Amino acid sequence: RRTAAVIPAAGRGVRLGPGAPKALRTLGGTPMLIHAVRAMARSRAVSLVVVVAPADGAGEVKNLLDEHALPDRTDILVVPGGETRQESVRAGLDALPEDVTDVLVHDAARPLVPVDTVDAVVEAVRAGAPAVVPALPLADTVKEVEPGRPGEPEPVVATPERSRLRAVQTPQGFDRATLVRAHDSVAVNGEGATDDAGMVEKTGVTVVVVPGHEEAFKVTRPLDLVLAEAVLARRRA
Ligand code: CTP
Ligand code: MG
């Protein structure tokens, strides 16, 4: 079997605030995207990384990848992304060579995922699970609310039992055909999902969870950058 990683990196990073596209913002002086590519390439199972660049930034991303050291055994492709994360992942899937059987989808915004987490996902897919997500138990209790008018207090409608909830991360791993089928059916039925495993669930395939890692958190808001810099500094110490 051959495993490839698709890295959606075409988002603007609106929640992070003004500046360069999020994937190109630096951590420890190195663009987040480069950290994310290295995190995938560090796994011996991953022989190809497909980077999905901002639609108008594929050239810039190619230059960045040329400037930074990456393992020789890993092939890299760059393709332009779309308006939504889903469209960007689709563009990455469409660029995969025929011989790829297993696919990881990994957010550029999770630059610090440890290689052991990547390998655990790959192993579970190779062992026969068609869809695998790394996940962690939640620290906070979660409430479901009835969204009201802006400014009005929202009534709580349910409190799901916390011990049964998991916060999911990436890389999410899939049997290629399963993931492509899910993207095809979402493209027909409209209505997206916020992650790839969610789309696979909608096709009736069982998704399984493996242990995630604290350091696989997503850089979403400015405070996440502070944490990411601290994690990197601790690694380098
Ligand atoms: N992504 C993408 N194409 C899009 C939107 C998002 O490739 N049209 C990617 C992002 O680059 C990121 C990953 O999907 O690596 C996860 O998305 P998120 O954390 O939401 O990043 P952004 O969409 O860039 O951030 P925001 O939602 O705050 O604008
Ligand atoms: Mg987004």
What pLDDT sits at residue 194? 84
Mean pLDDT value of segment 50-65 = 96
72, pLDDT greater than 70? yes
Q: Count other Cβ atoms within 10 Å, centred on residue 55.
A: 15
Tell me, yes or no, whether 52 lies in a domain.
yes
What pLDDT sits at residue 192? 65
Q: How many domains does the chain have?
A: 1
Asked whether 224 lines ligand 1 (CB < 6 A), one says no
Nearest bound ligand to the CA of residue 11: 1
Which structural domain, as residue segments, surrounds residue 23? 3-134+169-236
- Rounded to the nearest integer, the mean pLDDT of the chain is 95
Paired sense of beta strands 102-105 and 131-137, if any = unpaired
Q: Where are the alpha helices (DSSP H) in the chain?
A: 32-41, 58-67, 85-94, 115-126, 176-189, 196-202, 222-236
What pLDDT sits at residue 122? 98
Q: How far is the CA of 88 from the centre of ligand 1 (A)?
A: 9
- Asked whether this complex has an ipTM greater than 0.90, the answer is yes
Tell me, yes or no, whether 69 lies in a domain.
yes
pLDDT > 70: percent of the chain: 97
| pTM of the shown model | 0.97
Mean pLDDT value of segment 218-234 = 97
What pLDDT sits at residue 211? 98
C-alpha 64 chain-centroid distance: 20
Tell me, yes or no, whether 150 lies in a domain.
no
What pLDDT sits at residue 193? 76
CATH of the domain at 89: 3.90.550.10
205, pLDDT greater than 90? yes
Which tokens hold the place of 100? 């790829």
Q: Of residues 148 and 49, which shows the higher confidence score?
A: 49
Mean pLDDT value of segment 66-78 = 93
Tell me, yes or no, whether 44 lies in a domain.
yes
What pLDDT sits at residue 38? 98
What pLDDT sits at residue 124? 98
Q: Are 134 and 216 in contact (CB under 8 A)?
A: yes
Tell me, yes or no, whether 110 lies in a domain.
yes
- Which atom number of ligand 1 is nearest to the Cα of residue 109? 15
Tell me, yes or no, whether 91 lies in a domain.
yes
Tell me, yes or no, whether 128 lies in a domain.
yes
C-alpha 73 chain-centroid distance: 22
Tell me, yes or no, whether 70 lies in a domain.
yes
Mutation test residue for ligand 1: of 33, 84, 85, 106, the one with most atoms within 8 Å of CB: 85
